[in-house]
Structures are given as structure tokens and as C-alpha cells.
């Protein structure tokens, strides 16, 4: 990559990510879906990963087939405490996993909108809408093509913004958080699950393409995440570190995390560097 041209670098990163997630969308699988485990640990499948990070069996069972591809690192819908009638925006919607769960929670008077920059993912999500309508009796979910740095959403139109293991993929995280602030209604809230760093990663890890697509190389320190959110104008910021996801990936012998382990200093493990971070924040209400 050309380090002298940030814009060119950002587009190169987006291409790597788009190509990686296009492959996932086309194959319907992810590296961790081999079903293998080590030391008697539970295999990492999309279903048991979702349960590990807080989704209920009923929520998982209600999803259209193929919507859960094991791409989550937390449960932003639960974190958001969604209410009937709310408009929810999901950044990086993938196959629609969180959109369909959120749409059920906000009900017929609400709406769930997913944005994704990968055409193959968008097609997969839109193909799942018919099954969602048949199962739920609701027609309140939609998907739009776009980058999370430039959301195809009107100003002050969302009650809640959620995202699940996606913002770390962005080469311009400050712009993402400015966009979140733009589209939220005054008083609207953010509930995000993402990966963050407890300490800087060794350089060899950050250079792995697999780590980039898996969110790890794009992760920044927790303190930097908080600084970026504040600069975007959001308030009431609450950051909660969760170890369950990282431990599940490591214990389940996930291929990416096995590669990470190989590149870490002796005696260190992925959870010493990486955490799943729950992020809550709010857009201030303007007082006239």
C-alpha cells in the first residue's frame, strides 16, 4: 500500500474487506465453521457462538436460514434495549442477523434498516426478507447498499444505531462515528459490539490479511475508541470489556485465533491483547 496516500490506502483496505466478505457471502461459511475443536472444547459454529455471546435459542431459531454466519462478537440488539416503534439502523448488516432480530423487537410500528457495502451480502440479506416476513408476519426490515463512512440515511432519522463487529473494519473510524452522530435523532442512542485492544498488537499480527478481515488488525485501543466517540459529539459513553468472545474463539481452536497465538510472544494469549467491547453512547438533545 502507498503510505503517502491515506485515501488510496483506505480504498485498498475496503477492497480487501469487500473481497473477503464477498467470499463469505458466496460460500455461506466462515473460517471458524470447520466444526473442529481442541482439548474437548465446544466446536465454534455460528449457533453456539451466538449463544456464547448472549443470543437466546429462540432468537437464533427465529432467523431466516443463512442469516447467522458467525460474524458477531457481541449482542448489540440486547444492549440497545429496543422498544416498539423505534427506527433501528445496523451498520454492516451482513446477511441480516441483527436486523431481523431488531425488527421483531421494534414491531410493526418500528423499522430496522441494514447497511452493507458488499453487494453479495446485501443480496443475501434481501433474499432473506421473504422468509422473515413469512415467519414473523412483519414487513419492517430493509437493506441498503453503502459504506458506513457515508451512510445512505437521512439526518436525525434513527432512534438507535447498532453494529456488530464491523466498525473496526473501517479505515476511517472518526468518520464512521461522525456519521452515527449525524443520522441519530437528538436523544438517540448507540449500542455497538466491537473488538478493541487492551494493548498494542505485535506488528506481525497487524499485517495479517486474515486478521484484518476478522476485525483484529483494525482494532484500536479502548482509550482511542472513547476519544473518537467524544470528538463526534456523543455523550453518556459507557465502555464495557467482555472476554467471552475472545475466549470462545481461542478455546474453540478458531483458525484465525490459532494463527494469532502463533505470532504472539511466549506466554501471551489473544485475550491479553484483544477484547470484545460493548459501547453505549447518546446524541445530546439540543436545548434552545
What pLDDT is attached to residue 38? 27
* 156 belongs to a structural domain: yes
- The CATH number of the domain holding residue 235 is 3.40.50.150
- Kindly provide the residue ranges of all beta strands, DSSP E only, lying in the chain, ordered along the sequence: 87-91, 111-116, 141-145, 158-164, 184-197, 235-242, 274-282
| pLDDT reading at 39 higher than 60 | no
Q: What angle do CA 76, 50, 183 make, to 5 degrees?
A: 20
Cβ contact 161:180 at 8 Å = yes
Cβ contact 177:228 at 8 Å = yes
Our count of domains for the chain comes to 1
* 178 belongs to a structural domain: yes
What pLDDT is attached to residue 126? 94
- Output the average pLDDT for the chain: 80
What pLDDT is attached to residue 61? 65
* 180-199 pLDDT, tens digit each: 999 999 999 999 988 899 99
* 52 belongs to a structural domain: yes
Question: 210 by DSSP, 3-state: which?
Answer: helix
* 143 belongs to a structural domain: yes
What pLDDT is attached to residue 119? 87
Separation in Å, CA 269 to CA 51, 162, 211: 23, 29, 15
Lowest mean pLDDT among 34-43, 113-122, 250-259: 34-43
* 179 belongs to a structural domain: yes
* 59-73 pLDDT, tens digit each: 666 665 655 555 556
Residue scoring higher pLDDT (73 or 111): 111
| Distance separating alpha carbons of residues 10 and 5, to the nearest angstrom | 9
Rounded mean pLDDT, 14-38: 51
Confidence of residue 34 (pLDDT cuts 50, 70, 90): very low
Rounded mean pLDDT, 24-33: 50
* 51 belongs to a structural domain: yes
* 288 belongs to a structural domain: no
**188, three cell numbers:** 438517540
* 189 belongs to a structural domain: yes
Q: What are phi and psi of 228, to 5 degrees?
A: -65, -45
* 219-263 pLDDT, tens digit each: 889 999 999 999 999 999 999 998 877 887 777 777 778 888 888
Highest mean pLDDT among 3-7, 45-49, 71-75, 189-193: 189-193
Per cent of the chain over pLDDT 70 is: 70
**How many alpha carbons lie under 13 Å from residue 49 in its C-beta half-sphere?**
26
Highest mean pLDDT among 10-19, 28-37, 212-221: 212-221
What pLDDT is attached to residue 33? 39
Question: Who contacts 87 (Cβ-Cβ below 8 Å, separation ≥6)?
Answer: 106, 110, 111, 112, 113, 157, 158, 159, 160
What pLDDT is attached to residue 232? 98
Q: What is the span of the domain harbouring residue 48?
A: 6-282
Confidence of residue 285 (pLDDT cuts 50, 70, 90): very high
The residues with which 116 forms a beta bridge, in sequence order, are 145
| pLDDT reading at 85 higher than 70 | yes
Amino acid at each position: 500500500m502507498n503510505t503517502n496516500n491515506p485515501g488510496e490506502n483506505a480504498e485498498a483496505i475496503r477492497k480487501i474487506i469487500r473481497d473477503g466478505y464477498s467470499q463469505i457471502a458466496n460460500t455461506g461459511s466462515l473460517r471458524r465453521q470447520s466444526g473442529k475443536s481442541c482439548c474437548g472444547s465446544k466446536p465454534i459454529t455460528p449457533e453456539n457462538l451466538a449463544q456464547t455471546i448472549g443470543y437466546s435459542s429462540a432468537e437464533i431459531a427465529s432467523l431466516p436460514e443463512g442469516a447467522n454466519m458467525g460474524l458477531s462478537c457481541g449482542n448489540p440488539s440486547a444492549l440497545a434495549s429496543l422498544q416498539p416503534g423505534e427506527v433501528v439502523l445496523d451498520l454492516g448488516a451482513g446477511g441480516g442477523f441483527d436486523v431481523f432480530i431488531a425488527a421483531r423487537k421494534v414491531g410493526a410500528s418500528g423499522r430496522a434498516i441494514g447497511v452493507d457495502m458488499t453487494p453479495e451480502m446485501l443480496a443475501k440479506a434481501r433474499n432473506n426478507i421473504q422468509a422473515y416476513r413469512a415467519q414473523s408476519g412483519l414487513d419492517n426490515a430493509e437493506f441498503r447498499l453503502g459504506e458506513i463512512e457515508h451512510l445512505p440515511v437521512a439526518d436525525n432519522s434513527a432512534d438507535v444505531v447498532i453494529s456488530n463487529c464491523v466498525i473496526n473494519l473501517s479505515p476511517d473510524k472518526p468518520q464512521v462515528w461522525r456519521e452515527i452522530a449525524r443520522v441519530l435523532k437528538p436523544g438517540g442512542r448507540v449500542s455497538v459490539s466491537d473488538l478493541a485492544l487492551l494493548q498494542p498488537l505485535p506488528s506481525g499480527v497487524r499485517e495479517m490479511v486474515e486478521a484484518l478481515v476478522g476485525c483484529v488488525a483494525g482494532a484500536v485501543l479502548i482509550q482511542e475508541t472513547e476519544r473518537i466517540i467524544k470528538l463526534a459529539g456523543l455523550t453518556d459513553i459507557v465502555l464495557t470489556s467482555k472476554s467471552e468472545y475472545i475466549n470462545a474463539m481461542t478455546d474453540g481452536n478458531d483458525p484465525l485465533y490459532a494463527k494469532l497465538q502463533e505470532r504472539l510472544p511466549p506466554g501471551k494469549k489473544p485475550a491479553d491483547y484483544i477484547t470484545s467491547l460493548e459501547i453505549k453512547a447518546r446524541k445530546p438533545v439540543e436545548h434552545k
